[in-house]
Amino acid sequence: MANQPKKLLSVAEAEAIVRKSGAGRKIEAVPLLEALGRVIAEDVVAPEPSPRFTNSAMDGFAVRWEDVQYAEAARPAVLTIIGESQAGAPFDGIIETGKAARINTGGMLPEGADTVVPIEDVEIQSNSVRILAAKKREQNVRFGGEEFEKGESVLKKASVMGPAHLGLLSSLGISSINVYIRPRVALVVTGAELISFPDPVKPWQIRDSNRVMLSALVMQAGGFVVFSERVGDDLEETCKVLQSAVEKAEIIVFSGGVSVGPHDLVKPAAQKLGFKTLFWGVSQRPGRPLFFARREDALLFGLPGNPVSAIMCFLYYVQPTIRHQFGLAETRRSVTGKMAESVRNPIRRSQFFRVFVDGAGGDVPLVYPLARQASHMLTSVTDANGFIFLDIDARLSEGDEVEVNLFPWVEL
């Protein structure tokens, strides 16, 4: 490949290549608590019915309906108490005519009984009970299998596991579940000029913002940072870290070193290690020199080092890849608003234009384009809450409807 991208891909072309390349998903079995917030990779079929056995919904007495059907306060039915069915300690006798057993919520309904009279509707005498009211046959009984039978599907593949889902699995005796993996991401920040806090900084050096920012983005997208390293602009060092990245991660994210200078070594290192270039150069601002390559299952995103380029390319290309591998449907969070001012795209590239959406007040949010859009100014992201996509030649007038992609950390 020449040392300058010849023809830039359009954003849509680049996006399609990324989507196609990141399509595979891996699955792992995890214990229930580790499945919180994860996406299941299979339907769950009930291995047993729910409830597993017929039991009481109230504290009271297990009785036969024909013994109590006419009971009322003036003419109570009097039954002999022959035992107790506690939750966890069933009564193993049979309720015959004229008999009753104490029963607790969750206690197994004894044989012969078909109805539970709540404690509020009885008077207890030493070993008999006066039933003062009974509304209907089978009242206060939870029947085995009434929620679902063994073999019924209870959770659908691709569902996100919340606490109730985990409780349901646990109630079925399931202790681990197949989920899509949390993709492992290796981060490499390049640049001989970079310094990390708390190292002293010389006037010509630049403090690294991308390592922490990209780590946070990976975590927020559902990925797992297996390592994050900083390397100088050195081919051997870059190859070494790339080799260890490819051994440990599904997704490798480089920051910096993908432009056209002699010290931009990510592409040469990737080529040396047998990565296939899928594209280099996209007609977009920020992030023109975005580089994308793969070796077998490992995907490599070479993000330009300017912090705004890095974050916008991450949000547009890397985040959907991580979310997909995590098992989530591809959805960009967006709102429709109205331009508060006109804006046009004067350059021959598409733009990810940062805006502030003001949702307060009227029903349609107003969208304010930020004046500062330079790719070294992170305040153009922190002052914004989303971005609009401006195609080549785009012109938006005040009042025009526009779709705003919200940043993932923003609540509107």
Contact footprint for ligand AMP (CB under 6 A): 189, 191, 193-194, 206, 208-210, 255-257, 259, 304-307
Task: Give Cβ neighbours of residue 125 (< 8 Å, ≥ 6 apart).
Answer: none
Question: Does residue 90 belong to the site contacting Mg ion (CB under 5 A)?
Answer: no
Smallest separation, CB 213 to Mg ion (Å): 16
Question: Does residue 307 belong to the site contacting Mg ion (CB under 5 A)?
Answer: no
Cα separation values, 116 from 54, 94, 110, 258, Å: 12, 15, 11, 74
Positive or negative, the Cα torsion across 346, 352, 353, 357? positive
Listed ranges 50-58, 112-120, 298-306, 326-334: which one lies at the site for Mg ion (CB under 5 A)? 298-306
Smallest separation, CB 268 to Mg ion (Å): 13
Task: Give Cβ neighbours of residue 9 (< 8 Å, ≥ 6 apart).
Answer: 17, 279, 281, 282, 283
In the bound state with Mg ion, the residue whose beta carbon lies nearer, of 183 and 281, is 281
Smallest separation, CB 223 to Mg ion (Å): 24
Question: Does residue 302 belong to the site contacting Mg ion (CB under 5 A)?
Answer: no
CB 352 within 8 A of CB 317: no
In the bound state with Mg ion, the residue whose beta carbon lies nearer, of 256 and 287, is 256
Smallest separation, CB 250 to Mg ion (Å): 25
User: Shortest CA distance to 303 belongs to which of 181, 182, 191, 183?
Assistant: 191
Q: Which residue has the tokens 């190859």?
A: 239
Which of Mg ion, ligand AMP, none interacts with 306 (beta carbon under 5 to 8 A by kind)? ligand AMP
Q: Which residue has the tokens 């910096």?
A: 256
Which of ligand AMP, Mg ion, none interacts with 259 (beta carbon under 5 to 8 A by kind)? ligand AMP
Which of ligand AMP, Mg ion, none interacts with 115 (beta carbon under 5 to 8 A by kind)? none
Beginning with the edge strand found earlier in the chain, give each strand of the sheet holding 99-103 in spatial order: 115-118, 60-63, 99-103, 77-85, 128-131, 122-125
Listed ranges 41-49, 211-219, 302-310, 367-375: which one lies at the site for Mg ion (CB under 5 A)? 302-310
Task: Give Cβ neighbours of residue 159 (< 8 Å, ≥ 6 apart).
Answer: 39, 40, 165
In the bound state with Mg ion, the residue whose beta carbon lies nearer, of 303 and 366, is 303
Give the residue, chosen from 60, 76, 107, 191, that forms a contact with Mg ion under the rule CB under 5 A: 191
CB 154 within 8 A of CB 172: yes
Rounded distance between C-alpha atoms, residue 319 and residue 211, angstroms: 16
Which of Mg ion, ligand AMP, none interacts with 55 (beta carbon under 5 to 8 A by kind)? none
Which of Mg ion, ligand AMP, none interacts with 210 (beta carbon under 5 to 8 A by kind)? ligand AMP
Residue ranges that bind Mg ion, judged by CB under 5 A: 191, 256-257, 305
